[in-house]
Structure 1
Amino acid sequence: MDEGSATGAGRGGSEARHGESGRTRGPLDGVCEALVASGSCLMPSAAVSRCLGMAEAEWPRFARHWEDLVPDPYAAETGTRRLRRYGHFSLSRTGDIAARPVGAFVQPEESNPLYVAVDRRFEPLTAAFGADPALASLIRTLGRIAACLEEADEWTVKVHPFRVVAEAGGTGQPTPEGRHRDGVTLVTSLLIDRVNATGGESTVYRPDGTEAMRTTLSRPGTLLLGDDRATLHEVSPVRPLDATRPARRDVLVTTLTPR
């Protein structure tokens, strides 16, 4: 399934509408309603572009940051070729963003079974990536969405650009840890690019193990959002469409937690 045919959950609409109160509904109203009701939501690329104030033609420019990622040594231990960097920010209620020191990345013990008690250290975002206006616009937009899940004067924002590579004839594992939580309030996955790739299907689960949503992010700018407190998620392996050439899947995972 592509960005427009997710199953099992509502989607955020992109057109403004009038509710019963006469207030003009914006593109984030449906997103918030879906997250509260079902724990997950898919935003099409066009809606995301409008919320970020960027033309869809700008995605290739933003995607160039993925050419500056570096190997993830922890994923390599499981046989996965994954490139990444890591950014840490704070976001105030008024929309002010501040960069925070990039220390060890640690997830709660009950969230990620593969990296229990492991302090992982990653290379920080490049200066150009951290200062990109598109990233700032994304963080502020996600802050408005997270506010419908939990009240916070300030959010801790963690930014993880990933490139998962499947070698010719092989597979790549976007989530080598399998089904898991991130131990945050809002978890999001923004598709940046797919090249010669099949698979990479995202599935969101309810706590009882039943499926809440299943979709394949296929168009750059498509955004999958989840209430991490109420769901678990995983992504299926990526394989090359043309088995003689490698495949790659580039995403930006951003999480928000009250500070």
Structure 2
Amino acid sequence: MPKGVHFPSAEYPLSIDCPLCRHGHTDFYHRDERRSYRQCRRCDLVFVPPADRLSPAEEKAHYDLHENDPSDRGYRRFLSRLFEPMRERVPVPARGLDFGSGPGPTLSLMFAEAGYDMALYDPYYAADSGVLQGRYDFITASEVAEHLYRPGAVLAQLHGLLRPGGWLGLMTKLICDRAAFATWHYRRDPTHVCFFSSRTLAWWAEQAGCDIFFIGQDVILLHKPLSSAFT
């Protein structure tokens, strides 16, 4: 058994707060050979408890194995599932932020090639916190949400960086049900610690006062209204 990994029973204490909505009541959801998973009673988020996460060094070592090549046509096709619907909604000229750009920034390059003014942020590979002081017409986070230890705080921060009328585009695979989760390849990535359902994201959009659009199986667009009380 890896050091620091614990396999709780269904009676595991309910005092582990949801990292999205901070609700104090969460329930045992699943466990595998490496870690356990809990589900929030309020927003439905499924998440890995802090005790079962990788260390920062282990997480960084896993990310370093990624081979995201901007010249890879297959990778560009994959990213186009977010790129195209965002481009349809945000005309040039516009300023965008690619949040969680990774070791081989590609989505930002696709937008730049299309005439957009782009900024990058990644805590490991482009950690310029100055870009998080700017304001943006759109923000993309491709295959990022599932890695967030504090998704509520991060999503609120990104929402705050959007100009009124701006768009936040997420790409993350969504939970179907508990039975499918048990055999789901997506949960097997040790750096994936948060798993969203359509209900979870709809809950968050309502709290933020955003309109939400589900595009296909894994693209979610959130539109910030011209006036918003959520910060």
Taking structure 2 as the reference length, what is the TM-score of the superposition? 0.30
* Structure whose residues are more often strand by fraction: 1
Taking structure 1 as the reference length, what is the TM-score of the superposition? 0.28
**Greater relative contact order structure (CA < 8 Å, 6+ sep):** 1
